[in-house]
Amino acid sequence: MTYAPSRPSPRLLRATVVSAALSALIAVSACTGGDGDQAEQGGQGQGGGQGTQQGASASGEQQSARELGDLGSREGIVDRVPATVVLSSVSAQGQTLTVTFTVTNDSESDRMSIGSAFSNDLDDTSGDAGQSSAERNSVDGVYLTTEEGKRYLVGRGENGICACSSGLSSVSVDPGQSYTLSATFAAPPEEVETVTVHIPGYGAFEGVGIAR
C-alpha cells in the first residue's frame, strides 16, 4: 500500500508501514478499560515499520504532498523540537483498521528524533524469556475509542511485538521534512462509523470517519 504526504511544503520521508499480510490480524486479547468496557487488542502478525537507519536522517520513498489525506492536524513538541502531526487516514479492511499519521519537523535548524515519542513507554517482552521487543521505540501508544466507550489498543503478534511502526530509535527527521507512521488495530463492527484517535503528545482527534 502506498501512502503519500500530507503537507504541501515539506518532502515526505515514508516509514515502512504494516504490510498487507496484516489483513489477517484478528482480536486475540482484551483488557478492562477505565470505564468498565473492554479494550480490544488486535493480534496475529508482527509489527511493520521497522527502522533500519543508524544515526542518519530518515529516508524513504519521497512522494508528492498532494497524495496523503488530512483528517486534522495538531502542533506539539517531539524531542524538544516543534513538530506538527497530521492524521492522514483511518481505513478498515476486513478485520483490521489502520491509522496512518505524519509528523513534520517544524524547526528551521534542529534535527528531530522520533524515538519513543508515540509509544506507551513500556518496555515489553515477548513470550520467549529474554527476548525483548522494540515497543519503547514504536507507536504503540496510539489507541482508538468509540462513542460507546470501547477502547482499541494496537494489535500485537504472538511474540508481543506491535503491528505498528517500530524500531524508531535510529530514525531522525531533518528540518522541514516529514515521516509517516502507522498502527493497525482490530476493526470495530461495521455499524461503527467514526472513532476518536488518540496520539501521545497530541491529544484526541475526535469523530474521525472510518473509510471502509
Per-residue pLDDT of the chain (212 residues; tens, 9 = 90+): 333 333 333 334 444 333 333 433 433 333 324 343 445 555 433 333 333 333 333 333 333 333 568 899 999 999 999 999 999 999 999 999 999 999 999 999 999 999 999 998 776 554 444 444 546 789 999 999 999 999 999 998 877 788 999 889 889 999 999 999 999 999 999 999 999 999 999 999 999 999 99
* DSSP helix/strand/coil, 59: coil
Say if residues 57 and 174 touch (Cβ distance below 8 Å).
Answer: yes
Please give the Cα distance from 60 to 63 (Å, whole number).
9
Residue with cell 493480534: 43
Of 83, 58, 107, nearest to 199 by C-alpha is: 83
90 with 142: CB under 8 angstroms?
no
Question: Residue 24: helix, strand or coil by DSSP?
Answer: helix
* Cα(123)–Cα(158) distance, integer angstroms: 16
- From 53, 64, 74, 75, select the one nearest 3 (Cα to Cα): 64
| CA quadruple 136, 140, 142, 144: dihedral sign | negative
- Note the pTM of the prediction, 2 decimals: 0.72
